[in-house]
Structure 1
């Protein structure tokens, strides 16, 4: 079902949309705007999914096992030492 709506565009937006119609890329201004809104909807949904995934990751990390600062520092130093040896770098 289609709904008629009145919108306002800047001159630049109107010129761009009309150029898309004139070059045959879209059949009408309505088609241009529908495609733009569809892309915006998809982007918004993708951002929401990414945000949900990040929230879930943060929650898992917060609820997961904790590593003390001393253990983390030791782990980093061990990793750096292995890398130095592998690359034969004096540190």
Structure 2
């Protein structure tokens, strides 16, 4: 038996939301919600990394990214530590 995992889409910074409105955190949250629903419906493990990477405003914590989209070393460390505990 193979276990399938689907991971949430990462949040983005405020700058990215302003530059690229289609990449808003609201849209990302809605898509992640739909992914979670699909996973629940089909017995697939949903890995919510998005919540881990958000700041108090629901955006990508700017200390974890240099460009507002991609993670820096520290962000990858958080992600890896989180994935180690997913069952």
Task: Give the TM-score of the pair, scaled to structure 1.
Answer: 0.27
> Which has the larger Rg?
1
Higher relative contact order (CA 8 A, sep 6+): 2
Which one has a larger percent helix, Structure 1 or Structure 2?
1
Which one has a larger percent strand, Structure 1 or Structure 2?
2
